[in-house]
């Protein structure tokens, strides 16, 4: 649905952000982002006048992650369009500070701490903080969304999306319903098997749930109390 009509106006500036995700043959994922700022009028910048329609800046970032969404590489190449030619490019190597970070856990705070203000490029930071949500959308069902290792028991880790937005807050209706579903599924899986009979055994139905754990704010698998 479009936005409601506004007062009469004219366009003055456009910022475009494009983010793409690529699954690599070596098992890693590349999250690539591009930010472009353009004005519809000639713009005075530090080195002169940038004609209308040409980018004020066009910056690119690639973040490479593994299947647990850990950053294994990050780079931003030298580009043609920057606000302060000869100076903005000096900040490009700072992206290496992202290596080792977990996209699911506190990336915004880590980026602010390591690359905030004069330590990095403001516009590249705009792209850096987009990486977690873009990776989550692109890699859902393909990479670990829980942080659990391959040897962890299924259902023992909480999906990182929980309690990170209004729709998925832990005390909201969506999470409460999913917790109930998780309890029912856990009880079915842990129920003792009956003695063998002549009847052909039935396989338990497969249940796909978003929240495979009940370790949420004091709720355990054995706790029958569910919020709400």
Q: Is the pTM of this model over 0.85?
A: no
158's CB contacts (< 8 A; 6+ apart) are: 146, 211, 213, 215, 216
Give the whole-angstrom CA distance, residue 130 versus residue 112: 13
What pLDDT score was predicted for residue 180?
Answer: 63
Q: What is the pLDDT of residues 22-55, one digit of tens each?
A: 999 999 999 999 999 999 999 998 889 999 999 9
Task: Grade residue 182 by pLDDT with cuts at 50, 70 and 90.
Answer: low
Residues 6+ apart with CB under 8 A from 151: none
Whether 166 contacts 172, CB under 8 Å: yes
E strands within 84-196?
none
- Predicted pLDDT at 111: 85
Q: Mean pLDDT throughout 18-24?
A: 93
Residue-range domain boundaries for the chain: 13-139, 146-190+204-228
Residues 154, 208 contacting (CB under 8 angstroms): no
Is residue 18 very low, low, confident or very high in pLDDT (cuts 50, 70, 90)?
very high
pLDDT surpasses 60 at 193:
no
Q: What is d(CA 64, CA 70) in angstroms, rounded to the nearest whole number?
A: 8
Alpha-carbon distance values, 29 to 26, 75, 134, 151 (Å): 9, 14, 12, 22
141-163 per-position pLDDT tens digit: 665 544 444 444 445 556 666 77
d(CA 117, CA 184): 49
The tens digit of pLDDT for each residue in 162-171 reads: 776 788 787 8
Q: How confident is the model at residue 129, as a pLDDT?
A: 87
For residue range 101-144, what is the model confidence (pLDDT) as tens digits?
A: 988 887 888 888 888 788 888 888 888 888 888 888 887 766 55
The CA distance from 88 to 56, in Å, is 12
C-alpha radius of gyration, the chain, whole number: 24
172's CB contacts (< 8 A; 6+ apart) are: 166
Kindly report, residue by residue over 48-105, the tens digit of the pLDDT.
999 999 999 999 999 999 988 899 999 998 888 998 888 888 887 888 889 999 888 8
More confident residue, 197 or 32: 32
What pLDDT sits at residue 30? 95
**Separation between Cα atoms, residue 17 and residue 38, nearest integer Å:** 12
Question: Quick count: other Cβ atoms within 10 Å of Cβ 69?
Answer: 24
Measured at the CA of 134, the angle between CA 128 and CA 136, to 5 degrees, comes to 120
User: Closest Cα partner for 32 from 52, 12, 53, 18?
Assistant: 18
pLDDT at res. 16: 95
Q: Please write the tens of the pLDDT for every residue from 1-13.
A: 899 999 999 999 9
* The predicted structure's pLDDT at residue 161: 67
Q: What digits encode the pLDDT tens for the residues 199-225?
A: 344 344 433 333 333 333 444 334 434
């Amino acid at each position: 649905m479009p936005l409601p009509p506004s007062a009469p106006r004219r366009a003055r500036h456009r910022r475009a952000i494009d983010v793409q995700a690529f699954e690599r043959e070596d098992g890693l994922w590349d999250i690539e982002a591009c930010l472009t700022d353009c004005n519809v009028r000639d713009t005075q910048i530090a080195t002169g006048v940038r004609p209308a329609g040409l980018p004020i800046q066009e910056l690119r970032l690639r973040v490479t992650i593994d299947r647990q969404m850990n950053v294994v590489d990050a780079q931003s190449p030298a580009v043609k369009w920057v606000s302060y030619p000869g100076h903005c490019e000096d900040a490009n190597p700072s992206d290496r500070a992202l290596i080792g970070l977990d996209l699911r856990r506190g990336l915004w705070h880590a980026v602010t701490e390591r690359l905030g203000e004069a330590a990095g490029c403001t516009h590249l930071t705009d792209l850096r903080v987009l990486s977690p949500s873009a990776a989550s959308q692109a890699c859902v069902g393909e990479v670990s969304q829980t942080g659990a290792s391959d040897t962890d028991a299924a259902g023992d880790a909480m999906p990182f999306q929980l309690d990170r937005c209004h729709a998925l807050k832990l005390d909201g209706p969506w999470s409460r319903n999913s917790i109930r579903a998780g309890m029912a599924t856990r009880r079915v899986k842990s129920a003792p098997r009956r003695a063998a009979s002549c009847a052909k055994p039935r396989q338990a139905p497969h249940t796909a749930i978003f929240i495979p754990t009940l370790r949420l704010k004091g709720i355990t698998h054995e706790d029958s109390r569910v919020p709400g």
